Structure 1
Amino acid sequence: MRKIMDSCFFCDNIGGTILFNCDLYRIILIDSETDYPGFIRVVLNRHVKEISDLNDKDALSLFKAILESEKIIRDVYNPDKINVASLGNVTPHVHWHIIPRFIYDKHYPNPIWGEVTHPEYIPSKEIIGVKDRLIQQFKNFTI
């Protein structure tokens, strides 16, 4: 039996440190994901369950934000790989995860929600230390 949601995490919470905010969406740094410095989300600011429910203009704006966010993450963190995911099974609200991945991170090559492959992994001080640079890059963010 399908359970009806009484509330939505993304409607009820900012969800992290705001890097950029406009009428359509916000880009947030997920501070709680300490194993994944630079993990951000692009979150639609109104409750919509599926991207296909958006008009073309809004959908294209969101995709441009995802693309530009990925470019910033690549520039700041120089990861081995970027994961971009939009699942919505747990929280049916349009949003994307943009996650810098490194071959030595805790779950690599698995998804970050999968089986741990490197339990001893601790992000380096250099990786953690570029957070201010990431925040600065998003101050110049325009779409």
Structure 2
Amino acid sequence: MKDCLYCENVEKLNSLMIPICELGCTRLFLFRDQNYYGRCVIAYKEHGKELYDLTKEEAAEFIADMQKVGLAIQKAVDADKINYGMFSDTLAHLHVHIVPKKKGGYGFGGTIVMNPEPAKFLSDEEYQEIIEKIKSNL
């Protein structure tokens, strides 16, 4: 869909996230801001605005991808809790933020902060390291 970050705007998407892989019905991205170490986003491969737009079978596959990624991230970063956030007020494409948290770590016990200040960016090597940890647990 025209003007959709996940469908067409590759340059902006790549400024915010790093593609990791494709799953059953989603694409997996590592969020560049790593205040929540291991934070990822899964986006539905096709353009769809809402979870209720999917058939029951499509929704089940979407949830299965969420579960798979959540477990992979938990194992990769030894998270105490995985938070799932679907905040799509201004971006009309079905996606979920999968946010690991550790007791005593950034944001534990509170709600997800979408764009924490200051942002925490990693080196290319550090991004690759966490990507490999996540992929090895998928």
Report the Cα distance in structure 2 between the residues aligned to 1:49 and 1:130, rounded to whole angstroms. 29
Q: What is the count of residue pairs matched by the alignment?
A: 128
**Structure 2: gaps of 5 or more residues:** none
Q: Does 1:138 align with 2:126?
A: no
**Percentage identity across paired residues of the two chains:** 20
Report the Cα distance in structure 1 between the residues aligned to 2:24 and 2:103, rounded to whole angstroms. 36
The equivalences for 1:1-143 within 5 A come to 7-14=3-10, 15=13, 16-22=17-23, 24-31=25-32, 33-113=33-113, 132=129, 134-138=131-135, 141=138
- In structure 1, give the amino acid aligned to 2:135: F
Return the offset for 1:106. 3.2
**Structure 1: gaps of 5 or more residues:** 1-5
CA deviation string 1:16-35 (max 9, x = no partner): 2222215732011112x121
Q: CA RMSD in A?
A: 3.1
8 Å CA contact retained: 1:43, 1:95: yes
- In structure 1, give the amino acid aligned to 2:82: I
TM-score normalised according to structure 2 size = 0.74
3-state DSSP of counterpart to 2:43: strand
8 Å CA contact retained: 1:88, 1:94: yes
Runs of 4+ in 1 over 6 A off after TM superposition: none
Report the Cα distance in structure 2 between the residues aligned to 1:74 and 1:136, rounded to whole angstroms. 10
CA deviation string 1:82-139 (max 9, x = no partner): 111112112121111101112333333222327x8xx9xx89xxxx969525425426
- In structure 1, give the amino acid aligned to 2:29: I
Task: Pick the structure with greater CA Rg.
Answer: 1
8 Å CA contact retained: 2:42, 2:97: yes
